[in-house]
Amino acid sequence: MNTTRTPTETREPRMERLARLPVFFALTDRRAVLAGGTPAAAWKAELLSAAGADVHVFADELSDEMRALTASPPGGAIHLHLRCWEAEDFAGVAIAVGAFEDNGEAGRFAAAARAAGVPVNVIDKPAFCDFSFGSIVNRSPLVISISTDGAAPVFAQAIRAKLEALIPRGFTHWADAARRWRSAVQASGLSFAGRRRFWQMFTAHAVKYPDQEPSQADFKSFIDATWAEGAKVEQGSVTLVGAGPGDPELLTLRAVRALQSADIILFDDLVSPEVLDFARREAKKMLVGKTGHGPSCKQSEINTLMVDLARAGKRVVRLKGGDPMIFGRAGEEIEACRNAGIAIEVVPGISAAQGAASRLGVSLTQRSDVRRVQYVTGHSGNGLPRDLDWRSLADASATTVIYMPTRTLAEFADAAIAHGLDPSTPAVAVSRATRSDEQTVAGPISGLVVQLAEAGLPGPVLVMIGRVFSEVARRERHGVQRTQQVGANL
């Protein structure tokens, strides 16, 4: 049977259907028409003015909110016309908004706007709208808008509140500095790679010091640092990134930044597809197929591909399930890059063992039961490794985690028991740890092989052995369901 395959590029999936096309209107000094003087209309007038529009309000009556807003607009001027709108009012208009109780009035307003080629929104009447207003997170010029297409406004507001808490207000100053400095960076004489490096430094600094006011000294520092890197700016690099055990929310911030700056991502079968969603869309994604027992690319081929891409000036991310430094063959890839003179960085990830233990609610180092944790591999080139320390593996005061165990678990268990491991020692097998389809099988180590075969769990599978899993085994024995928390509270 052929157990090798070649690296293959994966095509970016087509964009899934959008309920609305998210766009941002440029309204500075452009005319906007707003029909209605209600408090709801005043809020829309405030948005239009904040975006720089020259707002013309047509209404027979004006709310106190509208009058107060007109006296102190946040941006563009607001002009009051104490009359109903007319068709001629749409001449030269960029956008139109109406506030009507009556559907007939709403329909006539929308029809007149469309006849004049003006996009229209009627507040709380989606049947008459060409566009909708989303919930806004304002760090202008960084602006985020959230829409549920009117299906769940409260949900959109909850998401906005979450983003408000996550995104520092100081990003406003850094986004504005980026706007001011962009033309200067373009005129600096830096190459394309150099300009990209400048913005990477800028971004890293802004994320680390969001509340620091950007200054001209910062601009000069980033420019000077970029020039100081010299020819290295044009060279590629490799970053080994731990994708974690599967749940994309367990990615580290540094892993996300690496994915979003990569030109090419070389990933394994064990990486969940949801993790790749964090990569920038333009990045080329290549499957280099490393699995426990299925067809795989040769490690030498991966090393060569990785080095060749970096030599061509590409920013390469080598994406591995779990943590790349734990049974991820990271040492061979690091050595290949260093021998080729390629800059390499490692971004650790949540290990499969950590992820599985967190979902089980079990401490791997429970003070009353455990003196050490040991990670071993159940797979080598010719089956079970022959140089395992069986005395340590039989130690009742240790927690043992076995990677790639499925084909050799029976032999492993027999050998460990023969060297003194109590056959009743609790053990648990976890399939696809932290993913939505995670499954577990638990019981004494002497019977786990049979249980695992009967369950037919899909890979990747991790086996953990030790007294700390007594409660997990008890729940399994009595058929007690384990409750998992999915996601975080908004």
Amino acid type, 467: R
CA distance 187 to 181: 10
Question: 285 is written with which tokens?
Answer: 């994604």
**Cis link prior to 348 (omega < 30° from 0)?**
no
CA distance 287 to 276: 11
Annotated catalytic residue 290: yes
Amino acid type, 444: P
Give DSSP secondary structure letters for 108-162. HHHHHHHHTT--EEETT-GGG-SS---EEEEETTEEEEE--TTS-HHHHHHHHHH
CA distance 103 to 197: 55
For residue 133, which phi and psi values (nearest 5 degrees)?
-95, 130
CA distance 20 to 489: 26
Residue 357's SS3 state is helix
Catalytic residue, chosen from 290, 314, 323, 395, is 290
Give the H or E element holding residue 54.
strand 54-58
Q: Is the dihedral of CA 309, 311, 317, 322 positive or negative?
A: positive
Catalytic residue, chosen from 268, 320, 323, 395, is 268
Euclidean distance between the first and the last CA atom of the chain, given in angstroms as a whole number: 50
Neighbours of 28 (CB within 10 A): 11
* Residues 6+ away with beta carbon under 8 Å from 233: 191, 193, 194, 197, 226
Report which of 435, 311, 306, 328 is spatially closest to residue 375, judged by C-alpha positions: 328
Annotated catalytic residue 224: no
Question: 52 is written with which tokens?
Answer: 């720089």
Catalytic residues: 268, 290
